[in-house]
Structure 1
Amino acid sequence: MNVLITGGAGFIGSHFIHHILGKYENYHVVNVDRLTYASNLSNVAKFEHHPHYTFIKSNIENKDLMNHIVKSYNIDIIVNFAAETHVDRSIHDSSIFVKTNVLGTQTLLNVALENNIRKFIQISTDEVYGALGDHGYFTETTPLSPKNPYSASKASADHLVLAYHSTYGIPVNITRCSNNYGPHQFPEKLIPKLILNTLKEKKLPIYGDGKNVRDWIHVSDHCVAIDLIIHQGKSGEIFNIGSHNERSNLEIAEFIIEKLGKSKDLITYVQDRLGHDHRYAIDAAKITEDLNWKPHITFEKGIEDTIQWYVKNKDWLKGN
């Protein structure tokens, strides 16, 4: 099996490469990444000389090159992790989000269509659903209602993927996962930012009152779910992936401070983000019932391991 992974030097994509090459001896991975600020080749450095791994620097909007890659490596499956993902950046300037997340996905879909790809996996996000109140969960049939430019761009890409499936018959799946955490995540994201600031005894900026709630899943559990969807997911289906580990931003900050033995005085409340969704929570019953998936890493164990990874890998943090 030859797998094209876009965005494979990023956080989730690199973990997925570790998962695939660690599990399957007869799979070849082609990693295409533009190496933006949030990508880091050190995340996949151990595979630099691996006989079943190839890295190519490119952006996914380059159709000629993407087409050449798919043909040259006889790609069977495309897994599209490549995306601009930071909400704050999308609020400041949404143009790159539309270019990468929407037009880039369209380019990959056209390449998949022209080359009769066996399956196209779109890695999306629970943010496309919008916000929840204090009760209830997102299901795969929840109407999309994105509230910021980032989530709107991902929702647009999802619609394109489903349209190409309906119109052209491309075999596809869409995954919508809750917030990921784990080692080597770029420190603009909440958990690594809180860990690093706490280690340096710098202020921990918390939006609004800190009561915004997210469901957190360890990236390794997410990768196992994607693997199952590639091999067992029925074409055209959407799968929500979550852990039922709901925590407020304030709870996360307090947990990290406690584990590192620092003062809660580091917590600083800042002006709330524009269009800040109150709560996300995933109902993962479908993937549990259809594919027999469930998360195995508890939040307490996962976050402790993540904290220790950042403590022990200070060289990775230089410049971040």
Structure 2
Amino acid sequence: MSEKKGFLGKLISGLTKTRDNLKSGIDSIFSGFSEIDEDFYEELEEVLIMADIGVATTEKIIDDLREKVKEQKIKEISVCRELLIRSIKEQMRVEETAYEFEHEKSVVLLIGVNGVGKTTSVGKLAGQLKAQGKKVILAAADTFRAAAIEQLTEWSNRANVELIAGQEGGDPAAVVYDAVNAAKARKADVLICDTAGRLHNKKNLMEELRKINRIIDREYPEAHRETLVVLDGTTGQNALAQAKQFGEVADITGIILTKLDGTAKGGIAIAIQSEMHIPVKYIGIGEKIEDLQKFDADAFVDALFTTSEHME
């Protein structure tokens, strides 16, 4: 549990900027208004949008709040605050089935543009699964970025898992083909593939992913499939736009949101989950292997709305 506790502490401190933005705005609304009227809702809406929760998601949250206030005939502002927090948590619940791939023979593809922490996330995920006693194989299918193969080699050594790599500039699908066959031959539990992320050239990316998926379908049809998009939490609304673009070229099953330490845009986690109906499955808040963890909606929202003293 200490690792989980340490992560929660890091999450709380990492979300300080987001929380300060959100909390000061919300505190001033809840102390400045004595009744729940139209002005109250409007101000609340503005604060949520400014915290990068996004327009569409904010509207959902406010509508949900209005409905509950009406239904339950609520007059007290303080009760309204609890309802608001509950409503945000409801937007973010991750189903238990989200992590089924951990318990089945599976192939996990990580996609995302360069610089978002994709290769690092592959390494961290491999390390965690290995620590759970899984047999993990990595595929270095990002053959375009020179440093990607080196970086992944380093992670595979650190996590003590096998890496299948090709030549720099080689065919990513060929690497995946070799990796799938290695995974089957060595009876691996999970094969994790690092892929190139070039959104500016969507057509190529689409072709590449199609080819990779075809190979996995053909060579390893029984494998559980997971496609995770890695997004940089510091980019706020831009991360949401990227998620949507990747959604056009791949069948995304989940999101890894990295670099949430020190950003004022942590609210984007809520927006992505709510607008795309794709769960944020992991969040990253640092460099170490244990700094990537399964997403816990309650802990996240509590970290956004609670001061550190309350968390002790």
TM-score greater than 0.5 by the shorter chain: no
* Higher share of residues assigned helix: 2
* Higher share of residues assigned strand: 1
Structure of higher RCO (CA pairs closer than 8 Å, 6+ residues apart): 2
